[in-house]
Amino acid sequence: MAQLVQGSQKWIRHNSLLWQRWLVTAFVLLLAPAIGYVASPHYTRLVLVGMLGLVIGIAVVRLLLRWPALGLVLLIPANMVVPFAIGTGTNTSIHATILLIALLLALWIYQMWSSGEGFRLYQSGTIPPLLLLIVVAVLAFFSGQLPWFQSAHAPLPAQLGGLSVFVLSAGAFLLAVHRYEEQRWLEWTVWLLLVLGTIYVGFRVIPGMFRYSGYFYTWGSTSSQFWTWFVVLLFSQALLNDRLSVGWRGLLWAILAVTLYSILFQTGDWKSGWIPPLIAMGAVMLLRWWQTSFLMVAGGVVGIPILIGALIASDAYSYETRIDAWMVLLNIIRVNPILGVGPANYYYYTPLFGIRGYAVQFNSHNQYFDIVLQVGVLGLACVLWFFAAVAQAGWRLRNRVEDGFARAYVYGALGGLVATVASGFLGDWFLPFVYNVSLAGMRSSILAWLFLGGLIALERMSATEPAAAVRARR
């Protein structure tokens, strides 16, 4: 059996063009009689479109096999401007981001299998918690089929959608770690996000143009994580990338100023839009000049309580109802705190307890409550372990990378990590809940996993060069 498997792998690896030609030929031969049989212009067009789609699909697959990191670059336009989606439900529709990540994961697994070298992963402390998170999420999914309450659980498509959020988010991180083979691919990803983000900001600030943005930018692609990573990467490159000319850095500062005006004054009542980006910029400053951190800490001790009090006072009803919701949701957590009640299920159990006298369905509006309710304290422990491992790796990496883009990126990613963790207290922004931010929110949330994976990819690229050599060259 082992010889048979090895022989098949070797044949597939050395005859990829041959079997792909056979596949296309068989498809054409099977569909040619169908075209003549139906003899309808409508069906003929469908068949021809299908054949064209197959040819294009094979061409895209060949490109992604040749340049794996190209798929990660293409994730940015797939997130923001490709409207393709399967399904009519806004909560569980499968869009271009999900399909592209699934395709990239399948191609990565296929290449590892066909290479004959086995499934080898980069030795990083960030990998084990993610792999364990996937296992815990799968176990929670099966555990969620048990009758925890005398009530129907969420429909199976919603449960599978909730499971896919955990699996594909972790998968996007793993892809970034292993498929960014050269720094230039990561640079292209960042600059493409900054270009598309700048155009979107232009739609917002130019009078009369915002209503047209919906024709170009997809629903869910410009939620909290978009603003967090757009702002922090813009800020870190403008502040720390000394390889850029004065003109380009000035342009980045100008774009940042316009962006901050947009999120602070045009949508200032949406706290998830401006609080995480400001936290990200503050974290970059604190981490870069940590020797003077006592000044920032002193200012924070005085200012942060005042700011938090003002924010609560400005939206007291939302704050009070969230506290009430968390108290109610503790009743659901108690039944299975280890693995939770399964992805998406708790939303259907909330009417059993009621909130403020109403038996209605509601969600927690808190990422960490969502995680515990869906995949238990085991799942939450994996997420926190992962964040701690990324922070540790990034802190070590800051003195190992080259000046310029890489060094600015490391500090930007660390600031983005701090802001991503903070955003979880405002909503389910980095692991979208199916019945709140929904699967459409993955168009934005995937940025956090992609760029944190890019941070570890830089660590992998620099692993062969001693830190002392980098410092001496700098």
Residue 121, sorted as left (phi over 0), alpha (psi -120 to 50) or beta, turns out to be beta
Average pLDDT over residues 341-363: 86
* Per-residue confidence band for 71, with pLDDT thresholds at 50, 70 and 90: very high
* Per-residue confidence band for 115, with pLDDT thresholds at 50, 70 and 90: confident
- Residues 154-169: pLDDT tens digits? 999 999 999 999 999 9
The pLDDT value recorded for residue 356 is: 76
Residues near 197 by Cβ (< 8 Å), separated by ≥ 6? 226, 230, 234, 259
pLDDT above 80 (res 292): no
pLDDT: which is higher, 219 or 471: 219
* Per-residue confidence band for 253, with pLDDT thresholds at 50, 70 and 90: very high
SS3 358: strand
Tokens representing 326 are 């968390």
Encode burial over 149-173: b for 16+ CB neighbours within 10 A, e otherwise. Answer: beeebbeebbbbbbbbbbbbbbbbb
Is the Cα dihedral 234, 235, 236, 242 positive or negative?
Answer: positive
Gap between the Cα atoms of 298 and 319, Å rounded: 27
List residues bridging with 358 in a β-sheet. Answer: 355
Average pLDDT over the chain, rounded to whole?
85
Average pLDDT over residues 256-269: 90
The pLDDT value recorded for residue 93 is: 82
Is the Cα dihedral 65, 69, 70, 75 positive or negative?
Answer: positive
Lowest mean pLDDT among 2-11, 117-126, 157-166, 429-438: 2-11
Nearest to 233, CA basis, from 445, 395, 417: 417
454 and 409 in contact (C-beta within 8 Å)?
yes
Tokens representing 174 are 């793993």
Encode burial over 31-64: b for 16+ CB neighbours within 10 A, e otherwise. Answer: eeeeeeeeeeeeeeeebeeebeeeeeeeeebeeb
Q: How many CB atoms lie within 10 A of CB 419?
A: 28
Gap between the Cα atoms of 418 and 284, Å rounded: 9
- Cα 270 to the center of its chain, rounded Å: 21
The pLDDT value recorded for residue 241 is: 94
User: What radius of gyration, in Å, describes the C-alpha atoms of the chain?
Assistant: 24
User: What phi and psi, each to the nearest 5 degrees, are found at residue 355?
Assistant: -140, 125
Burial class (CB in 10 A: 0-12, 13-18, 19+), 336: middle
The pLDDT value recorded for residue 76 is: 95
Is the Cα dihedral 388, 189, 461, 279 positive or negative?
Answer: negative
437 and 428 in contact (C-beta within 8 Å)?
yes
Gap between the Cα atoms of 157 and 181, Å rounded: 35
